[in-house]
Structure 1
Amino acid sequence: MALTVYHLNCGVLHAPPNPAASCHCLLLEEGGVLSLVDSGIGLLDVARPLDRLGRELIDLAGFQFDERLTAARQVERLGFRPDDVADIVLSHADPDHTGGLADFPRATVHLSEEEHSRLGAGHPRYVSSHFEHGPVWKTHGPSSRSWFGLEARPVALQSGSEVLLVPLPGHTIGHCGVAVGREGRWTLHVGDAYYLRIELSTDEHPVSALAALRADDDALRRESLGHLRRLNRDHPGAVELLGYHDVTEFPEGTAIGLEPPFPGPRLGG
């Protein structure tokens, strides 16, 4: 069975004067079984933004709310049902990555053991309302497997697709990239290990200051970024890198709903 990878923008963040940012999720389909990499802004966020996220976070991150961009609605437009999503693999548990979890309550949610531990300890960066539905967690601890010189934690998906959690800590302590194998090549979804692709080549861009500010451990963040720079330099034919927020990294022609003015009111209907 062939693996099909869909690139979905599952939300928009826009806090002027900063440019608009995407919530770049992957939808994997193999044998009619679906898996998501991150879940974006969800239906309940759109319906009840203040209850779910709060005004301070909405304004700080620039959350925009458009039901059409939610993963659930995009899955339906592709001809599938939300219940076809059997697994969700999280790079980490920040609220712009976890809002859609409640739209797929039957899915198993995979994340690193370290990230789950921090989430359970009540770290203030996480939003508890996103987990009130009681996700089915599957945590992944340290592994002896090596992937291009990095630790890799195999994720057993119901679809059988080859997926690895690759620890890239710093943004959060349990932050991971998600590596997807297909036809002898890999796509590494780096989550928030970089915000913009230009970080692979310079530390002088203004976004680097924002990345440092948002990091739980900036030294670890910079070390992880160094690993990504090495992969990008040494293995360009084997590993494709893409991040969550850089709007330029969607395949050409992908409709991502980032053209202002944004459809729908900022705080929902």
Structure 2
Amino acid sequence: MQPGSSSCASTISTPAPCAPIGRRLVNGTGSIFQRARMVCHCLLIETNDGLALVDTGIGLDDIANPPRLGPKWVRQTTPRLDPAETAVQQVKALGYSPSDVRHLLLTHLDRDHAGGIPDFPDAKVHVDRREHDMAVSHRTPAPKGRYITDQWKHGPQWAFYGEGGEDWFGFKGVRALGDREPDILMIPLPGHTLGHCGIAVRTKDKWLLHAGDAYFFHGQIEARPKMPLVLGLFQRRADMDRAMRIENQERLRTLKATQGDTVTIFSSHDPVDYERCRCGLVHP
């Protein structure tokens, strides 16, 4: 695709799972007696049509009523439920109003990515149509308990993607905001869920790719892939299509190897990826 206007992006971390004892088995470093660390990595973008937020993390309604996230999920992940860490409160801390966020670009609709949708009631919600079919309209059966439908019971305005698109480094990317913002793309990366997407954003002369849950650990897209044992088991259990997830991880690995100077790839929950971005790989 031809470059157009550049976007300005800020990286934030919303309330994240505080993994249990066993850091080496989750993060790949430290002691098995230390607590592991994970993040929920969101991206706030200044566009030609207001602010856009890539993923929303856990929202204020989730924190006010943790059981709606699912008692088993809360018990297993022990999320740090601090309202100050929600995306909406961090947007306010940056000097914006929630109404300034005009677009929510969702990698998928799992509870720790979509919980903040109600905190931005004026925003249009952009998702892959296959994700909406499974999570919202139920045209496709979803695994029991996978989605928290209360997170969109207020009836947001949806925008759907999934067909057509143009070439982006060998991927098919669909312009998320059309001609108003040609350099924000929805990139289909199914596997973790059937409608899972990455979000590509051009900043100046380079690109960011928020890969969502296409991978969980930074070592998975290295030339010699590696994955901590417990995190690998969790990822496999969460897969809707494991073969497709593995195929897309290989495509991301190739993208990093061939375009690593041009494209910065990061995932939703890896703290190493998050720190790299927070320390200057994105343009504040």
Same structural fold, with TM-score higher than 0.5 when normalized by the shorter chain: yes
Cα deviation for residue 160 of structure 1 reads 2.9
**Aligned partners of 1:110 and 1:32: how far apart in 2?**
14
Alignment of 1:94 with 2:98, yes or no, is: no
Change (3 A) 1:2 1:145: closer
Residue 189 of structure 1 corresponds to: 210
Q: Number of residues paired by the alignment? A: 254
1: CA distance, partners of 2:19 / 2:75: 7
Partner of 2:258: 234
Correspondence for 1:77: 93
The secondary structure found in structure 2 opposite 1:12 is coil
Please report the RMSD computed on the Cα atoms of aligned residues, expressed in angstroms.
2.0
Please identify, of 147-156 and 98-107, the stretch whose mean Cα deviation from structure 2 is larger. 147-156
Q: Name the CA distance, whole Å, in 1 between partners of 2:278 and 2:76.
A: 27
Task: State the Cα deviation string for residues 39-80 of structure 1 (Å, max 9, x = none).
Answer: 001111111112x21311211232220001001100110000
Which of 32, 47, 52 in structure 1 is aligned with 2:64?
Answer: 47
Amino acid at match of 1:98: A
Partner of 2:79: 63
- Alignment of 1:33 with 2:50, yes or no, is yes
Alignment of 1:200 onto 2:221: yes
Cα 1:30/1:162, change in 2 over 3 Å: same
Higher helix share: 2
Shift of 1:118: 1.1
Distance 2:210 2:186 in 1: 10
Q: 1: CA distance between counterparts of 2:115 and 2:18?
A: 17
Question: How much has 1:135 moved relative to structure 2?
Answer: 1.5
TM-score (normalised: structure 2): 0.84
Percentage of matched positions with identical amino acids: 34
Question: Are 1:249 and 2:273 matched, yes or no?
Answer: yes
> Is the 1:87–1:158 contact (alpha carbons within 8 Å) kept by the matching residues of 2?
no
* Whole-angstrom distance in 2 between the partners of 1:130 and 1:253: 28
Letter in 2 for 1:165: M
Counterpart-to-counterpart distance in 1, 2:259 and 2:277: 26
Deviation at 1:181, TM superposition (A): 1.1
Q: Report the Cα offset of residue 100 of structure 1.
A: 0.4
Moved more, 224-233 or 153-162: 153-162
* Residues 16/251 of structure 1: CA separation in 2 closer, same or farther (3 Å cut): closer
User: For the residues of structure 1 that align with 2:77 and 2:156, how far apart are their CA atoms?
Assistant: 24
Question: Aligned partners of 2:118, 2:8: CA distance in 1, in Å?
Answer: 24
Residue 4 of structure 1 deviates from its aligned partner by: 2.0
Change (3 A) 1:117 1:31: closer
TM-fit CA distance, 1:208: 2.7
For normalisation by structure 1, the TM-score amounts to 0.88
Q: Which segments of 5 or more consecutive residues in structure 1 lack a partner in the other structure?
A: 256-269
What amino acid maps onto 1:156 in structure 2?
L
Match of 1:6 in 2: 10
Structure 2 unpaired stretches of 5+: 27-35, 280-284
SS in 2 for 1:13: coil
- In 2, Cα distance between equivalents of 1:111 and 1:179: 14
Provide, for residues 83-128 of structure 1, a one-character-per-residue CA deviation record: whole Å limited to 9, x for no partner. 0000000000000001100000110000111111111216231111
TM-superposed CA distance for 1:164, in Å, is 0.6
Amino acid at match of 1:12: A
Answer whether contact 2:200 2:210 (CA < 8 A) is retained: yes
* Paired position in structure 1 for 2:40: 23
